[in-house]
Amino acid sequence: MAGEKNKEKLILDSAVALFTSKGYQATRMEDISKRVGISKGLTYFYYKNKEDLFMALTKKAFDQFKEEFREVLRSKGKNGLEMLTDLMGKIINFSKEHPVYYFAVLNFLDVLKKYNEPLLRSEIDPLILESVHFHKLLEIHHEPIKLGIQMVSLGIKDGSIRPELQPEITFYTVWGMIIGFEKMAGPVNFERKETKVSAEAWQLGFTKLMQDMLRGTIQASRPAIVQTSLF
Amino acid sequence: MAGEKNKEKLILDSAVALFTSKGYQATRMEDISKRVGISKGLTYFYYKNKEDLFMALTKKAFDQFKEEFREVLRSKGKNGLEMLTDLMGKIINFSKEHPVYYFAVLNFLDVLKKYNEPLLRSEIDPLILESVHFHKLLEIHHEPIKLGIQMVSLGIKDGSIRPELQPEITFYTVWGMIIGFEKMAGPVNFERKETKVSAEAWQLGFTKLMQDMLRGTIQASRPAIVQTSLF
Amino acid sequence: MAGEKNKEKLILDSAVALFTSKGYQATRMEDISKRVGISKGLTYFYYKNKEDLFMALTKKAFDQFKEEFREVLRSKGKNGLEMLTDLMGKIINFSKEHPVYYFAVLNFLDVLKKYNEPLLRSEIDPLILESVHFHKLLEIHHEPIKLGIQMVSLGIKDGSIRPELQPEITFYTVWGMIIGFEKMAGPVNFERKETKVSAEAWQLGFTKLMQDMLRGTIQASRPAIVQTSLF
Amino acid sequence: MAGEKNKEKLILDSAVALFTSKGYQATRMEDISKRVGISKGLTYFYYKNKEDLFMALTKKAFDQFKEEFREVLRSKGKNGLEMLTDLMGKIINFSKEHPVYYFAVLNFLDVLKKYNEPLLRSEIDPLILESVHFHKLLEIHHEPIKLGIQMVSLGIKDGSIRPELQPEITFYTVWGMIIGFEKMAGPVNFERKETKVSAEAWQLGFTKLMQDMLRGTIQASRPAIVQTSLF
DNA sequence: AATGAATGAGTCTTCATTCAT
DNA sequence: TATGAATGAAGACTCATTCAT
C-alpha cells in the first residue's frame, strides 16, 4: 500500500511511543507488536531481541541527534560561540521533545563506558554485544561530537572563543555541561525557599557561564544576540 | 556483641557489594541475604522490598556524598575556587570508588525529576513512593548542594570567584559539569585517532575551564595550587 | 485434532479434579498445569490468574447447575410440586457428585452478597472484580432461579401449590431450604443418642415438610409419587 | 490493673474486629497482636496457632449463639411457633451484628461435615484437629440445636405446631431454612425487574412460609403477634 | 513474511511459626 | 509471661523468546 511505511520502522515508532509513556522495562514486546497491529513473532523477525530493538532505536536516536548538530552548523552568520550556544538550546529541547532518544543516547554512553573498561565489559548484556546495531553505533557515535568540535574550532578561528583552548577538550566539556544541566532539572525545580532558583533563570545563567568560560575577544560586543539565540 | 555490626547495615553492605559486581537488576534479594548469612525473610523484615532497600542505600549514598562536601569545607587555607576544584576531584574519585553510591545519587536525580513533573510522577515505581527512605531523601537531598553553594559564596567573598556570579546558579552549573564529565568518561576514552584525547588531559582541561569560568581577580596568581589540589 | 479437547477446557477439568481432592487453597497453579501436561505459562495464557480461573469454573458450574433445573422442567407428567421435589433431590445429588461446582455456586453467592453491599464490596479480591467470567456470572446467575420460579408458578396453576403463594418468594425460600439442608449434613450426621436422626430420615422428613409448606389441594392424594421421585 | 481484661480475651476481641474488617485470610497474626499491644510471641503463648485461635473464637461464637436460643426460651407468654419465629429473627440479626461469629458457626458446620465423612476427614487442616477448642466444640455444638428442638416440642404440646411432626427433623429443617435464607441475601438483593423481590418482603414471606409449614390449630387466630415478633 | 500458542526460567514477596533471651 | 528477631517453605505471576504451521 502507498501509505504503509515498512514494518521495521513502524515497530520502532511503536517502541518509542511506548517507552515514552511506560518506560523501557515496563514495555513488553507484545505491547509493541500490538500497537503496530502485527504479531509478536514478526517483531522478532525484524529484531533479534529486545536489546537489539533498543540498539536499533539508539541508532536512530544518534542520527536524529547528529541532525541537530548539522542544523546548527548550517546556520549562516553565526560565529562559533553562538553555534555552541544554539547547540545547547537545541539539545535541551531535544531532551524534552524526544526523551526516549535522549535517554537512548545517554544510555549508550553508559554502555560505552563499560565497553571501554575491560573489567566492566562483562557487565554488558551479551545480547547488546551481539546486536548489529550496537556495532554500527560504535562506528558512528562520535560523529555528532566531531561536529561539535568543529564548532569550537570555528569559534577559535573567528575569535569568538579564546584561542588558547583545545577544541576537543573544550567540546567535551561543553557536552558534559549540557548532560549535567539536563540531569539537574529535577533537583533545581525542587529546591525550596533559600536555595530556590527558577528553571528559566538557571538555563540563562548556565548559558552565560558557558559563554564566559569560552569567550574570546569578539564576543563581548554582542551579548544580546547570544542570549536570544537560545530560544 | 562488639564485633557484630547490626544486620541492617550488613544487608546494605552486602547489597552494595552485589550491585557493584552484578548490577541492581541482576542481583536477587536472596543473593543479598545469603551473602550476609541470613534468611531472605529477615532482609524483608528490615527492608520492605527491593526498592525500599535501594532507597535506604541511596540515603547512605547521600550521607557519604555530603561528607565529601564537608571535608572540602573543613580544609583550611583554601579559597572558594580551590574548594570547588577540590570538590570536583573528590566527586570524580567518589564515582570511581563508590560506583554504586554514585549511581544511586544520579538515579535519585532521575526519580526526582519525574517526581517534580506531575505528568511523569505516575511513572515512578509505587514502591519507591511508599518507601520511608525516599521521603527522608526528599528532605535531605539538597544538603550537599547547600554546602556547594556555600563554597561559591565563599569564593565570591574571598575574591577567587567573580563577584557578579549568582551562587546558586553557579553551583548548579558546576555540579552539572561534574555529572556530565563523569558521563563522558566512556566516549572520551573510546574516541580514536583524530579526536582522541586522553582521560587525564581531559580532566585537567575540564578543571581549568571550570576555573576560567568562575575565576575572579585573586586567582590568577596561583594556578599551580589549584591544579595540584586535584589529586 | 479430533480426540484432543481444547486446552482451555482441559485446564478447567484439571482444576476441578485438584480442587476436589486438595481444595482450592492447597492447589497450586503449577499442579493444574502439570496435570494437563502443559506449562505454567500456558495456563496463565488462558486464565489471567487463579481467581479468574475459578470464576471460569464457577461459570461452568452455573451452566451445569442450570441444566439440572432444565431437566426437571423437561420431565413430562409432573406437577409443580413434584418438580420442586425432584429439584431438591437433584440439587442434593449435584452437591455430592460435583462438590467443587456446588462449592463454586455457594461461593459465588457469598461474593454476590458482598458485591451488593457497598461497604463490603472492597472486601472482594480485586482480581475477581477484574475477571470477565465474573461479569458474565453477574448476568447469568439468576437463570436457574428463574426456572425454579417457573416451577412454583406451574404448581400454582396446576393446583399442586397453594394459590396464595408468591412464586418468587416461595422459590427463594425453597432454594434457601436446600442450601441449608446441605449445610446441615455435618451436624445431623454427628448428633448422638438423644438427638440422633439418620440422614435418610431427615431428607425424607425435610422433603415432606417442604411439601406441606407449599401444598395446594390436589397434592394430598398422591404423596407416594412425590416421595419416590426423590431417588 | 482493674480495667485490664485478661490477654486471652483481648486477643480474641482483636481477632474478631480484624476478621470483620479484613477477613480471616487477610488478617495476619501480627495484626492481631499489634491491635492488643502485645507481641506476636505472646499471642502464640495463648493460642497454639491461627487455626487454634479461630477454633477458640468459634467456641465463643457458639456460646453467644446458644445465648440467643436461651433468650427465646426464657421469654414468657410465647408459644412454640412464636418462639421459632422469634428465633429466626434473632439469628438473622445475629448474622448481621456478629458476622464473624456467624461465619465461624457456619464454617464449623463445614468442618463437621468433613469430620463425619471418613474420606474427607483428611482434608481438614491437621492443626484444627489438634486444637483443644475444636474438641470442646465437638462436645457442645449441638447444645443450641437441642434448645431449638425443645421449642418445637413445646409448640407441639401447646398446639401451635402440628402434632404429627417429628421435633428433631423439624428443627433441623427450620435451622437449615435460616441458614439458606441468610445465604440468599446476596442474590435476592441483586435480582432485577421481573424477578425482583425486596429483602423485606422476602423475610416476611419466608417467615410466613415457615409458619405455614409448621402451624397447628391454635396459631390461626394470632397472626399479628407472630409477625410483629419478628423485629 | 506472518502467526500466536507454548515454554519455563526467574523472583519477588508473604506470613505462620519458632526460640533465644 | 513477654519479646521480636529470625526462619524458610510456599506460590503466584511475568515475559522474553521460540517454533510449528
Per-residue pLDDT band at D158 (split at 50, 70, 90): very high
Cell of D175: 435451622
Task: Judge whether C113 is closer than 8 Å to chain D, CB to CB.
Answer: yes
Are A56 and A39 contained in the same domain? no
Q: Could you tell me if B214 and B162 are in contact, meaning their C-beta atoms sit under 8 angstroms apart?
A: yes
Please measure the distance between the N-terminal and C-terminal CA atoms of chain A and give it in whole angstroms.
40
- In tens, the pLDDT along B92-143 reads 999 999 999 999 999 999 899 888 888 788 888 888 999 999 999 999 999 9
Domain that holds residue C55: 49-215
Indicate if the pLDDT at residue D128 is higher than 50.
Answer: yes
Distance B2 CA to F3 C1' (A): 22
Contact: D183, C176; criterion CB under 8 Å? yes
The residue whose CA lies nearest the C1' of nucleotide E17 is D49
**Contacts with D121 from chain C: Cβ below 8 Å:** none
Q: What pLDDT does residue A133 have? A: 96
Q: How far apart are CA D43 and CA D11, in angstroms?
A: 7
SS (H, E, C) chain C: CCCCCCHHHHHHHHHHHHHHHHCCCCCCHHHHHHHHCCCHHHHHHHCCCHHHHHHHHHHHHHHHHHHHHHHHHHCCCCCHHHHHHHHHHHHHHHHHHCHHHHHHHHHHHHHHHHHHCHHHHCCCCHHHHHCHHHHHHHHHCCHHHHHHHHHHHHHHHCCCECCCCCHHHHHHHHHHHHHHHHHHHHHHHHCCHHHCCCHHHHHHHHHHHHHHHHECCHHHHCHHHHHHCCC
Task: Judge whether B212 is closer than 8 Å to chain A, CB to CB.
Answer: yes
Contact: A201, B169; criterion CB under 8 Å? yes
Indicate if the pLDDT at residue D97 is higher than 70.
Answer: yes
- Any chains having at least 3 CB pairs less than 8 A from chain B are A
SS (H, E, C) B165-216: CCHHHHHHHHHHHHHHHHHHHHHHHHCCHHHCCCHHHHHHHHHHHHHHHHEC
The residue whose CA lies nearest the C1' of nucleotide F7 is B39
Q: Is residue A220 part of a domain?
A: no
Q: How far apart are CA D206 and CA D225, in angstroms?
A: 16
Interface of D with C in 30-69 (CB under 8 A): none
Are C72 and C175 contained in the same domain? yes
Average pLDDT over residues A173-200: 78
Q: What pLDDT does residue B223 have? A: 42
Contact: D169, C210; criterion CB under 8 Å? no
pLDDT higher at D57 or A231:
D57
C-beta atoms surrounding B164 within 10 Å: 9
Last residue of a domain, one of D15, D30, D46: D46
Average pLDDT over residues D53-63: 97
Task: State the smallest CA–CA distance between residue B107 and chain A in angstroms.
Answer: 10
**Contacts with C163 from chain D: Cβ below 8 Å:** none
**Contacts with D114 from chain C: Cβ below 8 Å:** 186
In chain D, the residue whose alpha carbon lies closest to the alpha carbon of C206 is: D173
In chain B, the residue whose alpha carbon lies closest to the alpha carbon of A137 is: B187
Q: How far apart are CA A87 and CA A214, in angstroms?
A: 14
Are D143 and D34 contained in the same domain? no
Sign of CA dihedral B131, B132, B133, B137: positive
Contact: A109, B183; criterion CB under 8 Å? yes
Are B12 and B113 contained in the same domain? no
C-beta atoms surrounding B222 within 10 Å: 13
C-beta atoms surrounding A132 within 10 Å: 12
Q: Which of A165, A172, A189 sits opposite B116 (nearest CB)?
A: A189
Q: How far apart are CA B170 and CA B150, in angstroms?
A: 11
- Any chains having at least 3 CB pairs less than 8 A from chain C are D
Task: Judge whether A190 is closer than 8 Å to chain B, CB to CB.
Answer: yes
> Chains C and D: how many Cβ contacts under 8 Å?
168
**Contacts with D106 from chain C: Cβ below 8 Å:** 183
Q: Which of D145, D185, D214 sits opposite C187 (nearest CB)?
A: D145
Weakest-pLDDT range from A164-173, C101-110, D112-121, D205-214:
D112-121
Q: How far apart are CA C6 and CA B38, in angstroms?
A: 47
pLDDT > 70 in chain B, percent:
87
Q: What pLDDT does residue A137 have? A: 96
Q: What pLDDT does residue B195 have? A: 59
Average pLDDT over residues D157-174: 93
- Interaxial angle between packed helices A167-190 and A80-97, expressed in degrees from 0 to 180 and rounded to the nearest 10: 40
CA B13 to chain centre: 18
Cell of C58: 464457577
Indicate if the pLDDT at residue D3 is higher than 80.
Answer: no
Q: Which of B22, B206, B212 sits opposite A169 (nearest CB)?
A: B206
Q: Could you tell me if D115 and C186 are in contact, meaning their C-beta atoms sit under 8 angstroms apart?
A: yes
Contact: C116, D190; criterion CB under 8 Å? yes
**Contacts with C149 from chain D: Cβ below 8 Å:** 195
Q: Is residue C167 part of a domain?
A: yes
Q: Is residue A225 part of a domain?
A: no
Considering any atom of strand E, list protein residues whose CB lies within 7 Å: A 7, 38-42, 44-45; B 26-30, 40-41, 44-45, 48-51, 127; C 7, 38-42, 44-45; D 26-30, 40-41, 44, 48-51, 127
Sign of CA dihedral D171, D174, D180, D183: negative
Are D54 and D37 contained in the same domain? no
In chain B, the residue whose alpha carbon lies closest to the alpha carbon of A198 is: B169
Q: Is residue A228 part of a domain?
A: no
Structural domains counted in chain B: 2
pLDDT higher at A102 or C25:
A102
Q: What pLDDT does residue C79 have? A: 94
Indicate if the pLDDT at residue D2 is higher than 60.
Answer: no
CA–CA distances in Å: residue D127 to residues D13, D122, D130 = 21, 12, 5
Best D18, D112, D193 member to test C by mutation, with max C CBs in 10 Å, is D112
In chain B, the residue whose alpha carbon lies closest to the alpha carbon of A148 is: B195
**Which CATH number belongs to the domain containing residue D85 in this structure?**
1.10.357.10
Are D39 and D91 contained in the same domain? no
Indicate if the pLDDT at residue A14 is higher than 80.
Answer: yes
Q: What pLDDT does residue D191 have? A: 62
Task: State the smallest CA–CA distance between residue D188 and chain C in angstroms.
Answer: 8
Q: How far apart are CA A98 and CA A205, in angstroms?
A: 24
Are A130 and A188 contained in the same domain? yes
Mean pLDDT of chain A: 87
Per-residue pLDDT band at D45 (split at 50, 70, 90): very high
Are D33 and D61 contained in the same domain? no
Q: What pLDDT does residue D197 have? A: 78
Mean pLDDT of chain D: 87
Q: Is residue A221 part of a domain?
A: no
Indicate if the pLDDT at residue D219 is higher than 50.
Answer: no
Type of residue found at D147: L
Q: What pLDDT does residue A193 have? A: 57
Q: What residues pair up with A161 in beta bridges, in sequence order?
A: A215
Last residue of a domain, one of D28, D46, D64: D46
**Which CATH number belongs to the domain containing residue B6 in this structure?**
1.10.10.60
Are D73 and D155 contained in the same domain? yes
Average pLDDT over residues B202-231: 65
Using alpha carbons only, how large is chain B's radius of gyration in Å?
20
Q: Could you tell me if C112 and C120 are in contact, meaning their C-beta atoms sit under 8 angstroms apart?
A: no
Per-residue pLDDT band at B218 (split at 50, 70, 90): low
Q: Is residue C163 part of a domain?
A: yes
Is nucleic acid strand F under 7 Å from D129's C-beta? no
Cell of B125: 515505581
Cell of D193: 425487574
Is nucleic acid strand F under 7 Å from D39's C-beta? yes
Are A181 and A97 contained in the same domain? yes
Q: What pLDDT does residue B26 have? A: 83
Q: Is residue C188 part of a domain?
A: yes
CA–CA distances in Å: residue B19 to residues A26, A123, B16, B22 = 21, 11, 5, 5
Q: Is residue B167 part of a domain?
A: yes
Q: How far apart are CA A106 and CA A56, in angstroms?
A: 15
Is nucleic acid strand F under 7 Å from C40's C-beta? yes
Q: What pLDDT does residue D52 have? A: 95
Contact: B173, A209; criterion CB under 8 Å? yes
- In tens, the pLDDT along B73-95 reads 999 899 999 999 999 999 999 99
Consecutive 10-residue averages of pLDDT for chain C (231 residues): 68 92 87 91 93 95 97 94 95 94 94 86 87 95 95 95 93 92 78 69 90 75 37 29
Q: How far apart are CA C28 and CA D214, in angstroms?
A: 48
Are D6 and D74 contained in the same domain? no
Are C108 and C33 contained in the same domain? no
CA angle (C11, C13, C17) in 5-degree steps:
115
SS (H, E, C) A159-173: CCECCCCCHHHHHHH
